[in-house]
Amino acid sequence: MQELALLMVSDCADAQKPEFARLVRQAKAGDAAAFEAILCQFERRVLLTAMRLLNGNLEDAKDAAQQVFLRLHRSLHQLDASRHFASWLYRITVNVCRDMLRVRARRPVVPLEEAGHCAMAGGTEDAMRRDEQMRLIYAALASLPERERAAIVLRDLEGISTAEVARILGSSEVTVRSQISNGRVKIRKFIDRQQRRRL
């Protein structure tokens, strides 16, 4: 888990390196290979963030990721690689997912059986238990209001600082802190309720 967090931090740092700025310049000039390299660098983060914002639905997350990267492609000419590229991409991801949820008029709460479509490796008892836990967490996330969910996903799952989350969501730091706090308490209560129901 710690390795993943470190990986994310190094990814953020990569976005500020001169090499990344060169990739952006080349992509702006129409170099498809450079654009693909940018895509490779960020696809995992964009797709996983989208999946967490879209109730664990992998197909929706794939659609969202495609939209995000096509928006990136269209906006390349006005992109400043030296300034918060990762934050910009997260903001687009959050907006695309929000639009998808609104357009499809998803109910914020999904049944546990439908939450978390991500395939887990193997069919052992451990894997099944793990799968069930993932579904529970996705259902807990889905039960949160849109803004709280986004704040929790960015802070607790993406490991982004509260100040950066505020910048991504276009809110004040105080508001985001409150959303994170409320979200965490609600998740705990949701998990607690579900576990009591099963006993």
Partner 1 sequence: MSCDKFEPLIALYIENDLAQAEARAVESHLAGCDACREFAAEMRESQAALKALRTEFVDDAVFLQVRTEVLSAAAHGQRVVSWPRYAIAAGLVLALLGGWMWQMRPGARLESRPIAANVSAPPLPVTVPAPQARTRTRLGRVQRRRPQAAPMFKSEPLLVKVITDDPQVVIYWLVDQNGG
- Which parts of this chain interact with partner 1 (CB under 8 A)? 1, 4-5, 32, 35-36, 39-40, 43-44, 47-48, 51-52, 58, 62, 65-66, 69-70, 73-74, 118-121, 130, 133-134, 136-138, 140-141, 152, 155-157, 162, 177-178, 180-182, 184-185, 187-188, 191-192
Q: In this complex, which beta carbon is closest to partner 1, that of residue 43 or of residue 146?
A: 43
Nearer to partner 1, 82 or 175 (CB): 175
Distance CA 15, CA 169 (A): 19
Give every CB contact of residue 160 below 8 A, 6+ residues apart in sequence.
90, 154, 168
**Considering beta carbons, is residue 1 or 103 the nearer one to partner 1?**
1
User: At closest approach, how far in Å is the CB of 157 from partner 1?
Assistant: 6
Closest distance to partner 1 from the beta carbon of 66 (Å): 5
Q: How far is the CB of 82 from partner 1 (least distance, A)?
A: 23
**N-term to C-term CA, the chain:** 30
Work out how close the CB of 52 gets to partner 1 at its nearest, in angstroms, rounded to a whole number. Answer: 6
Q: Which is nearer to partner 1, 7 or 82 (CB)?
A: 7
Euclidean distance between CA atoms 172 and 166, whole angstroms = 6
Nearer to partner 1 by C-beta: 82 or 129? 129
CB of 140 to partner 1, least distance (A): 7
* Least distance from partner 1 to the Cβ atom of residue 156, Å: 6
- For residues 4 and 82, which CB has a smaller minimum distance to partner 1 in the complex? 4
